[in-house]
Amino acid sequence: MTRLTGRAQRVTIFIGETDLWHHKPVYTEIVHRARKAGLAGASVFRGIEGFGASSLIHTQRLLSLSEDLPVAVVIVDAENKIRAFLPELDELVEEGLVILDDCEVIRCVGREKTK
């Protein structure tokens, strides 16, 4: 189990819900590759409304025609591990925004694995 405390880096990837990588959602591929790379964790958050570089508003409101809602994938780990993972994102993210910032991990405790 990965234990992480102190200084770390957070990479946040903003993409569209319908963005695909080989017929799978890009966010799913990012999470699976992050796990394979041994990163501390990754979470996907679905937005209810937003816009990006195209300035087109995406929303979940019933009367809207847009269904490509914004998605944010957040990964936190040590700087060297995050930087080593960035080439994966270069491959996967064709449209979107990738940001990197320093953070401090106060507490990171997972469940114990059951047999």
Average pLDDT, 10 consecutive residues per value, the chain (115 residues)? 79 95 97 96 88 71 67 96 97 95 87 69
DSSP, collapsed to helix, strand or coil, labels residue 89 as helix
Bridge partners for 105 per DSSP: 6
Which pTM value belongs to this model? 0.84
How confident is the model at residue 1, as a pLDDT?
47
Query: Residue 26, Cα to own-chain centre: how many angstroms?
Result: 9
How confident is the model at residue 82, as a pLDDT?
97
